[in-house]
Amino acid sequence: MKYYKCPRLFTVDVDENKVVVNSRNLKWDVFDRLQIKVLEAFRDGCDVNTVAEKLDIPQAYIERVVELLLPAEFLKKTADFPVPDFRDPPEVMSVWVQTSNICNLKCSYCYTKKNKDQMSDTVWLQFKKKILQTACQRKLKRVTLRLGGGEPTLTLKNYAHHLEEIKNDLSKLGCELGIILITNLTVATSEMVEFVKRMDCSVSVSLDGLGEFHDTSRMFKNGDGSFNV
């Protein structure tokens, strides 16, 4: 009997093993390198005896691996692997917005290159156009913008009106706008609080623990901790 490897598998290295995910049914499992080698041997359709001879591995071992691979359809007894029919496209969309590279902290592990770069009005207008176009084409019911940086509250006054326009224009399409403000919360001005209330924003605050544990990695540029601000 021939077995066939599913053509739509994703693999991720984890130490000496691999996580295998079947994109057709979202089932997954973890296999060692030799088991992965057996799986690959069935790529074009093969029987157990042929694989055992090709890899110079006992047939009994190949049979045990096949038993592990069949339940999640990493292997099948047929070459028929139909493409999933996604007739109901998603009605929501989530977008990360890198508002700027400006920040008032100097976190030890931050990967963002700190400078004065920020989204210009031109970029915001292009972004707005693309959001509205996508919402209209896909008939979205909700768009969520995750505002990050840098520290997004430092330049909020420069782009708050763009978000208000996006919210108003999306509402005309029957689409809600959700905003998540990802902040270190060291700059909580009255204007920011008013914006959060007016736009019904969610606020995600970055904490790395309590007290000195937080201050070890999240400090100001002068070295002072930011936990008790």
Give one DSSP letter per residue of 45-92, joined into a string.
-EEHHHHHHHHT--HHHHHHHHHHHTTTTSEESSS--PPP---S--SE
Query: What CATH number does residue 145 fall under?
Result: 3.20.20.70
Predicted confidence (pLDDT) per residue in 82-140, tens digit: 766 656 778 999 999 999 999 999 888 888 888 899 999 999 999 999 999 999 999 99
**Do residues 139 and 198 share a domain?**
yes
Range of the domain at 13: 2-76
Q: For residue 71, which amino acid is it?
A: P
Residue 85 maps to a domain: no
Whether residue 111 sits in one domain with residue 22: no
Shared domain for 143 and 59, answered yes or no, is no
Number of structural domains (the chain) is 2
Q: Do residue 210 and residue 134 come from a single domain?
A: yes
64 with 139, same domain: the answer is no
Residues 112 and 198 reside in one and the same domain: yes
Is position 13 within any domain? yes
The verdict on 64 and 117 lying in the same domain is: no
DSSP secondary structure code for residue 152 in this structure: G
Same structural domain, 202 and 126: yes
- pLDDT for 165-194, tens place per residue? 999 999 999 999 999 999 999 988 899 999
222 within domain boundaries: no
